[in-house]
Amino acid sequence: MTSLPLTPTSAATGQLNCHYFNDGLCHSCTFIETPHHDQVADKEAWCAEVLADHSPDSWLPAAVGADRDFRNRAKLAVGGATGAVTMGILDQDFHGVDLRECGIQAPQIRAVIPTIADFLNGTGLAPYDVKARRGELKFVHVTAAPSGDLMIRFVVRSQHGLDVLRSRRDRLMELIPTATVISVNLLPEHKAVLEGSREEMLLGDSLRMNLDRVDLHLRPQSFFQTNTEVAIGLYNQVAEWVDEIAPASLWDLYCGVGGFALYCAEATDQQISRKVTGVELSEQAIESAKISAGELGFESRTGAGVEFIAADATEFAESNLGTAERPDCVIVNPPRRGIGSRLSAALEESGIEHVVYSSCNPLTLAKDLDRMPSYTVERARVFDMFPHTKHLEVAVVLKRH
């Protein structure tokens, strides 16, 4: 496993100082004034309190990365005026607050925000006015791979905005040669969401997220953890746990673009027989996972197999847990709402020996564990995926008793 240190790895020393926070312009990093190590200790204590009724046999030390320059995806609201846009957030009066120097964004994202702002100023498109319900430019999403490659997404209100940006695609490619994916998303509705359902690709189709052992392929609407360094630590930790369990067959439910499944398959010796099945509702995510599996050559490896299926995780489990296809171990990585009563019940009744649960919400994790009394928590570890906030990732190993 690629372990993570217990102190921030940033080359900078001392507490992160943010002038946006100090000036009262942005309070997204709620706990930025608390030393990072104290933040982590508080998260560990809170997580242990929430899971007190399911106290693990052992808590591993928290996995901690840098306290700055860590965020690989910026979701920037466009404000300001035509020809003078801001890129950052909207305040309580829906005025634009420019955050182009935000210290938690990856440096390659910070570097291109002024260029994107200048590009948008040159289009003549107006930022969307929330109160007046007019204008075009709503958001810009920028995702950075470790290689430095970028995915840039523009969210606009109408076809006119799409047409203008499409006509200036070549200029944007000249300005930002590291952009390997460019798309425009249409969000005509007036509602508090970050994207609509229609996406038009202007360049490429997926961003190659080159991690330490696996390359994942992110499409514009793909989910990936926003902290690459800590995500790698999480993938490696789960792969290490799975190798210790040594299941002959493994399911990765809510697999997304295949991170856990591919790490667990990659960790297996080529002569060890392990069937890995990833299940995810998004067909695009499944196609991306299949590309990564093909690049790793799993089709030709002796004794190992990787399969990805586009399906609802709960329905898939309910249909297959009572058959000969039942796995020896299951990984679940659900959204904040948890796996819910149906999947919890299916796992409880399955007889499966081990479950590895990665959760971004300890509160729903605790509720799901309440529904699975046949399992005890063997080990647990906090992953500080979101410094300066209350949010965290926690992974646990469950064993049937």
Last residue of one domain, picked from the residues 175, 204, 233: 204
Residues 106 and 250 in one domain: no
Residue at 332 is within a domain: yes
Catalytic site includes residue 29: no
Last residue of one domain, picked from the residues 204, 233, 251: 204
Total domains, the chain:
2
Residues 127 and 184 in one domain: yes
Residues 112 and 185 in one domain: yes
What does the alpha-carbon distance between residue 312 and residue 102 come to, in Å, rounded to a whole number? Answer: 37
Residue 62 buriedness (CB in 10 A; 0-12 / 13-18 / 19+): buried
Residues 310 and 374 in one domain: yes
Residues 355 and 228 in one domain: yes
Alpha-helical runs (H) found in 307-395: 313-320, 340-348, 362-370
Residues 246 and 395 in one domain: yes
Q: What CATH number has the domain bearing residue 199?
A: 2.40.50.1070
What does the alpha-carbon distance between residue 294 and residue 37 come to, in Å, rounded to a whole number? Answer: 40
Residues 55 and 183 in one domain: no
Q: What CATH number has the domain bearing residue 235?
A: 3.40.50.150
pLDDT string in tens for the chain (401-residue length): 444 444 433 334 467 899 999 999 999 999 999 999 999 999 999 999 999 999 988 899 999 999 999 999 999 999 999 999 999 999 999 999 999 999 999 999 999 999 999 999 999 999 999 999 999 999 999 999 999 999 999 999 999 999 999 999 999 999 999 999 999 999 999 988 889 889 999 999 999 999 999 999 999 989 999 999 999 999 999 999 999 999 999 999 999 999 999 999 976 555 556 899 999 999 999 999 999 999 998 865 545 589 999 999 999 999 999 887 899 999 999 999 999 999 999 999 999 999 999 999 999 999 999 999 999 999 999 999 999 999 999 999 999 99
Residues 242 and 321 in one domain: yes
Q: Which of 336, 348, 323 is nearest to 394 (CA)?
A: 336
Q: Are 94 and 265 in contact (CB under 8 A)?
A: no
**Identity at 261, one-letter amino acid code:** A
The tokens for 110 are: 């910070």
Residues 293 and 390 in one domain: yes
Residues 77 and 141 in one domain: yes
Of 29, 102, 255, 360, the active-site residue reads: 360
Looking at residue 228, the DSSP 8-state letter turns out to be H
Residues 234 and 170 in one domain: no
Work out the number of other CB atoms within 10 angstroms of the CB of residue 146: 17
Q: Are 74 and 395 in contact (CB under 8 A)?
A: no
What does the alpha-carbon distance between residue 71 and residue 386 come to, in Å, rounded to a whole number? Answer: 8
Alpha-helical runs (H) found in 169-250: 169-175, 228-245
The tokens for 123 are: 């289009």
What does the alpha-carbon distance between residue 336 and residue 394 come to, in Å, rounded to a whole number? Answer: 12
Q: Which residue range is the domain that position 312 belongs to?
A: 36-67+222-400
